[in-house]
Amino acid sequence: MNAQSKIVADQTNTFTQIMDFSDLYLSDLNPRQTVDDSDAQLMADSLIATGLLQNLAGLLDDNGKAGIVAGGRRLRGLALAIKERPELAKVPVKVTNDKALAQQWASTENLARQSLDAADEIRAYGNLAAQNKKVGDIARCFGVTEKRVYKLLKLANLPAPVLDALKAQTISIDVAQCMTVSNDEHKTLEALDLAIENRWAKWDAERFFREDTISGTDYRARYIGDKAYKKAGGLIIEDLFNESQLWQDPDLLQQLFITQLELDAEEFRSGVGFAWVETSAQPHVSAYGLEEQLGYAQMAKTRAKLTADQETRYNDLVLLKETTQLDATVQTELDELQSHRNGIYTADQKQHSGLVVFVKNDGTIDAVQGLVRPADREAAEQLGYLPKTEQKVAGAKSDYAQAFVEDMDAIAKGSLQAKLLENPDLVLDLVAFSLSELVSYDVPIGIRLNTAKNVPSQADGHKLPKAIDDEHVKSPDWDRKDDLAERFTAFRKRGQKARDTLLIEKFARAMGTGSKDPLFALLKDEINSDMRQVWTPSETNCFKRLKATLLDAAYQDVMGLKADDGAYKTFVKLKKAEKAKALHKLFNDKKHQKALKLSDEQIERIQTWVPNC
């Protein structure tokens, strides 16, 4: 063994040793016996820029030298790198004199290789990219995918203090990833300070950077498309880590959306021939909702009886579709025949009705058709297109007494329920399905959850996870035409994990026990819930709504002042409006907090204070 070698760590037959490069050679056990010159040079460039980030592994021989069994590419890179950085000739090597163990290292090199520190790996990739190295070359050099390289190069573009904080583990890699969506260095560094001070989790960083943006999966974004949005001057930032887009100008998107929808709505109306058209900016529009909100009524379609030849053709196409993918022409023919079987609006009906056009969640146009405005209802009734207001349409009389029919239905339900007791997973599927957005009126399991108020009347400074924020929860499609069995089959294909997640979200949202109840206190203590996790006091949502004496107490509490302290006496003399503004600034302005040179204890009290009501 070389006399200058230094043993860093020692185990039974494995230790790490600093060895001269001249005492290293490529072992026959190493699976990487050949390396392209370009790969060796790329590795050398990385070593020159960042040093050796992963130790080599070798088998000691009788002469004290080591045959490298894992790290052949790094060994070749070092041969080139030490010409520019001679200090790299002192190489840390994990060594053993156990040939069987060395063989194991060699055969599992890629699996056994120690993971790089995240910040070191990011900087290594960034240094190579700065030398105009291609992504594919960097990926090959480090034995990773190109997708990983692209993501880490995005991180490499972050300001240096962010990578320093990542290295020091004062922020997590998840928080750093959230920062990559920002093109504003000042905002990024502001977020960094907040993240370190408040020990941000990923959710906190996402909230900071995603507020005032629109997701690329929003129905309006899908409808307008990124080309039109960018052409109008809109900015889109790609979030590589969440594989999503953030559209930075919601007002511009809304303006484009409304303008384009009005144009498309008129074109739609002209194509189908209705008398009038309106638009809705909402992604869920139904005839029932329009009746409730605007008093519109919807005409029944006129059923058109198919000829014998048409009926035969329809049946043939239905059978063909079960075994073959229909081309566009044949599918259109089938759709038209199906439309006639389901019923159509005649030309005369269209002259006395209109439609409301909207954009669905997938970004496609849809419309509720055959609508009659309240002012036109009497004329439609006279023509027989709507039942008269006082008229009740009676159904055909059944051969069975209603009570008997109800008894038979009860027996059938009981038999199904009995078998469900033997199929608990199916029951859970049905419960989750009943709570999902796929079900509207026809609920299979008789369950409806009450959703207690969880958003204050003054909502500024308040942010909930999307799963319990009603603004982001999907609403049922009240006009779905597919039957319940088809929807249930589609729901089960989502899998058990999606089912269980939905149940957790729905039942969590339904938690309605009041905050003064002992059960609430028990749960709060067990899971450490805190109002300040979702709410920050502000002038409008809190301080303006409190009495002056309560504002005095809040200031004294968070600042840790005594009644005779000069600062407290000065605050008490302020007008109530001035007190509210002062507390708002104290709670929400980080620069102001720094200027006051607040202690850690004062900052903590500000971050945890809530009204004692």
Decide: 589 and 536 in contact? Cβ < 8 Å: no
pLDDT at 284: 86
Q: Is residue 13 part of a domain?
A: yes
By the 10 Å C-beta count (0-12 exposed, 13-18 middle, 19+ buried), 154 is classed as: buried
- Pick 54 or 197 by higher pLDDT: 197
In sequence order, the β-bridge partners of residue 244 are: 239
- Pick 414 or 463 by higher pLDDT: 463
Reported as a pLDDT band with limits 50, 70 and 90, residue 412 is low
Do 16 and 81 lie in a common domain? yes
The two tokens of residue 86 are 């001679």
Question: CATH code at 79?
Answer: 3.90.1530.30
Write the CB contacts of 608 (distance below 8 Å, at least 6 apart in sequence).
530, 532
In sequence order, the β-bridge partners of residue 215 are: 246
* Per-residue pLDDT at 74 exceeds 50: yes
Reported as a pLDDT band with limits 50, 70 and 90, residue 581 is very high
Which residue, 114, 146, 173, sits at the end of a domain?
114
Mean predicted lDDT score pLDDT of the chain: 81
- Pick 437 or 192 by higher pLDDT: 192
Q: Is residue 371 part of a domain?
A: no
pLDDT at 291: 87
Dihedral of CA atoms 163, 167, 170, 173 in degrees, nearest 10, equals 70
Do 510 and 420 lie in a common domain? yes
Reported as a pLDDT band with limits 50, 70 and 90, residue 479 is low
CA distance 473 to 456: 18
* 287-311 CB burial, b ≥16 within 10 A, e <16: bebbeeeeebbbbebeeeeeeeeee
pLDDT at 9: 38
Q: Is residue 556 part of a domain?
A: yes
CA distance 295 to 375: 10
324-338, 405-419, 493-507: segment of lowest average pLDDT: 405-419
* Helix-helix angle 37-50:135-142, to 10 degrees: 80
Mean pLDDT over residues 22-35, rounded? 81
Which segment, 6-10, 51-55, 324-328, is predicted with the most confidence on average?
324-328
Do 476 and 433 lie in a common domain? yes
Decide: 306 and 340 in contact? Cβ < 8 Å: yes
Do 562 and 601 lie in a common domain? yes
- Pick 439 or 319 by higher pLDDT: 319
pLDDT at 337: 83
Q: Is the pTM of this model over 0.85?
A: no
Mean pLDDT over residues 565-581, rounded? 91
Q: Hey, is 36 helix, strand or coil?
A: coil
φ, ψ at 541 (rounded to 5°): -85, -10
Q: In 3D, which of 41, 74, 38 has the Cα closest to residue 55? A: 74
pLDDT at 456: 74
Which residue, 477, 508, 526, sits at the end of a domain?
526
Do 596 and 558 lie in a common domain? yes
* Per-residue pLDDT at 536 exceeds 50: yes
Q: Is residue 312 part of a domain?
A: no
* Per-residue pLDDT at 193 exceeds 50: yes
pLDDT at 110: 45
Measure the N-to-C terminal CA separation of the chain; round to a whole number of Å. Answer: 74
Do 430 and 497 lie in a common domain? yes
* Helix-helix angle 424-435:496-510, to 10 degrees: 60
**Residues listed for the chain:** 613
Half-sphere exposure of 85 (CA within 13 A, CB side): 16
Write the CB contacts of 301 (distance below 8 Å, at least 6 apart in sequence).
342, 343, 344, 345, 370
Do 454 and 485 lie in a common domain? yes
Do 451 and 481 lie in a common domain? yes
Write the CB contacts of 377 (distance below 8 Å, at least 6 apart in sequence).
297, 386, 389
Domain count, the chain: 3
Do 552 and 521 lie in a common domain? no
Q: Hey, is 196 helix, strand or coil?
A: helix
Q: Is residue 328 part of a domain?
A: no
Do 500 and 549 lie in a common domain? no
Decide: 98 and 13 in contact? Cβ < 8 Å: yes
Decide: 450 and 512 in contact? Cβ < 8 Å: yes
Q: What is the pLDDT of residues 231-272, one digit of tens each?
A: 999 888 887 777 778 888 889 999 999 999 999 999 999 999
Question: Residue 445 sits in which domain range?
Answer: 402-526
Which segment, 136-145, 262-271, 416-425, is predicted with the most confidence on average?
262-271
Write the CB contacts of 263 (distance below 8 Å, at least 6 apart in sequence).
none
Do 422 and 519 lie in a common domain? yes
Q: Is residue 351 part of a domain?
A: no
Q: Is residue 79 part of a domain?
A: yes
Which residue, 526, 559, 593, sits at the end of a domain?
526
CA distance 520 to 516: 7
The two tokens of residue 373 are 């405005």
Do 514 and 542 lie in a common domain? no
In sequence order, the β-bridge partners of residue 319 are: none
Q: Is residue 459 part of a domain?
A: yes
